[in-house]
Amino acid sequence: MDPTDAGAPLLSDRVQISGNVVPMTLTTGGKLRWPDRCLSIAKDVLGFTVEGSRIKINAVIESGPGICCPSNVGAPMRKTFTFEPLSEDSLRLWNQRLQSVIDSLGRPKRLLVLLNPYGGSRSAPKVFSDDVKPLLDDANIHYTLQETKYRLHAKEVAHSLDLMGYDGVLCVSGDGILVEVVNGLLEREDWSSAIKMPLGVIPAGTSNGMAKSLLDSVGESCTAFNATLAIIRGHKRSLDVATVLQGQKKYFSVLMLAWGLIADIDIESEKYRWMGSARMDFYAIQRIFCLRKYHGCIKFVAAPGFENFGEPNELGGEIDELNSNWVMQDGYCGPTFDMKGFNRKIEGPFVSIWLHNVPWGGEDVLAAPDAKFSDGYLDLIVMKDCPKISLATLMGEMNKGGHVRSPHVLYLKVKAFALEPGPRADDPNKEGIIDVDGEVLARGKGTYKCDQKTLMTYDKLHIKVDQGLATVFSPIN
């Protein structure tokens, strides 16, 4: 580590370490240095405790040989360093200065932890106790742990949350709890302040697209350990939120919308849930070789540089129809829609329509490699037709984003989007499923579990993006 980057000494003293008296310095740049170690308070130090005359520094360091060698980086591991100031005055001063530096980093001190004990392989409780709790304890973070009891429980909790009582909400689950929390915050009367609550995501479910996207953005592996470190360090980034609107009904999305092949695989494969994550691959093979196409139409406002995708859209009475459905409601109503901008369209039939807000749809699905967290656009992946053999190859490329380079795929960015879903091309008496953030938003006739009630009907809906509306804890580059 370059000493010139450390800043001027904030506190310099002699302390006892392992029976030896050595010099120790805390710098204005947030570096804690003694003869054989230099720790960055922001990156390496989780917290500290004073036990009698000793101070214990709880840190995270790179494991394996070559800890100080940048060319030989290992996985992070917890480690405690202990030193003893030589007087009570020195002890008090070290306590004050260390706490001052940590406080200046804006780290969370109080967290609400929402844990879904039923999601995925029911691993969330173990993930929390083994990976999350020890780090939170090391960082002296006070937390309230609440297990969700039923679907939409997390939404109810977020809707009534005491905003002054916490510095963030930590979701230990797949992506579902995060989505519920966002919807709960935006349906509050004080939504404009509620949605500023920082949200953290710990991968502990079947689908961990948001956690994977956040960690992969800085080259870190998608683990609960790394995700917890990001939350403790307190770094934040803004996140786009998409409003899905149908008449008076609205839903807030942070991940994706799918219709056609991807939605069918995601939702219908639930009948094979006993297979674990392999159910997706197993059912994908079935759907590829018994391929469905759906009639319908999509209309959109293209991002700059993508205006030539699709065909011109002739505007009619749709403007008045959309605006006439819009009335004041509790919570955030979403952005204003102006159909005059929907000047491009693509007619079906379609194999698949897929909208993505973040790059990863799951830990092994790089759905939209060019997606950004707060660019104000959704990435649209369109497939109208594809030979089955080519489709099988294309699906195999999703783990590294290669599918978007296929000649059978259109990949573009849109600011707003309208979906007009229709029936299956092979059977007009059967319709499709609209999947938003891994949940069924609407089911058409003859679909899997079509007797179950959904928030919206299998009909026209509109989507628009609010740039950077939400805030998430994010790892540091």
Task: Output the pLDDT for position 64.
Answer: 61
Structure tokens at 292: 């469905």
CA 362 to chain centre: 10
Tell me which residue has tokens 């934040």.
236
pLDDT tens-digit readout, 245-260: 999 899 999 999 999 9
What are the start and end residues of each CATH 3.40.50.10330 domain in the chain?
A: 110-234
- Bridge partners (DSSP) listed for residue 243: 252, 464
Q: Which of 131, 175, 435, 466 is catalytic?
A: 175
Instruction: Give every CB contact of residue 363 below 8 A, 6+ residues apart in sequence.
Output: 203, 208, 209, 212, 222
Q: Do 366 and 401 meet the contact criterion of CB atoms below 8 Å apart? A: yes
Task: Output the pLDDT for position 69.
Answer: 41
Instruction: Give every CB contact of residue 328 below 8 A, 6+ residues apart in sequence.
Output: none
The predicted model scores a pTM of 0.92
At 383, the amino acid letter reads M
pLDDT tens-digit readout, 279-300: 788 888 999 999 999 999 999 9
The rounded distance, in Å, linking the Cα atoms of 94 and 361 is: 46
Task: Output the pLDDT for position 68.
Answer: 42
| 3-state class percentages of the chain: helix first, strand second, coil last, to nearest 5 | 25, 35, 40
Task: Output the pLDDT for position 318.
Answer: 55
**Is 13 a catalytic site residue?**
no
The rounded distance, in Å, linking the Cα atoms of 362 and 211 is: 9
- Bridge partners (DSSP) listed for residue 442: 434
Rg of the chain over Cα atoms, rounded to whole angstroms, equals: 25
Name the pLDDT band for 117 (thresholds 50, 70, 90): very high
Task: Output the pLDDT for position 272.
Answer: 75
For the domain spanning 110-234, the CATH number is 3.40.50.10330
Name the pLDDT band for 154 (thresholds 50, 70, 90): very high
Class of domain 9-105: mainly beta
Name the pLDDT band for 198 (thresholds 50, 70, 90): very high
Helix H or strand E segment including 85: strand 76-85
Phi, psi at 15, each rounded to 5°: -135, 170
Task: Output the pLDDT for position 71.
Answer: 44
Average pLDDT, the chain: 91
pLDDT tens-digit readout, 72-98: 456 889 999 999 999 999 999 999 999
Task: Output the pLDDT for position 121.
Answer: 73
At 175, the amino acid letter reads D
Class of domain 245-316+331-465: mainly beta
The rounded distance, in Å, linking the Cα atoms of 25 and 98 is: 11
Inter-axis angle of helices 209-216 and 224-233, nearest 10: 70
DSSP 261: H
Q: What is the mean pLDDT of residues 105-132?
A: 92
What are the start and end residues of each CATH 2.60.200.40 domain in the chain?
A: 245-316+331-465
Q: Do 431 and 447 meet the contact criterion of CB atoms below 8 Å apart? A: yes
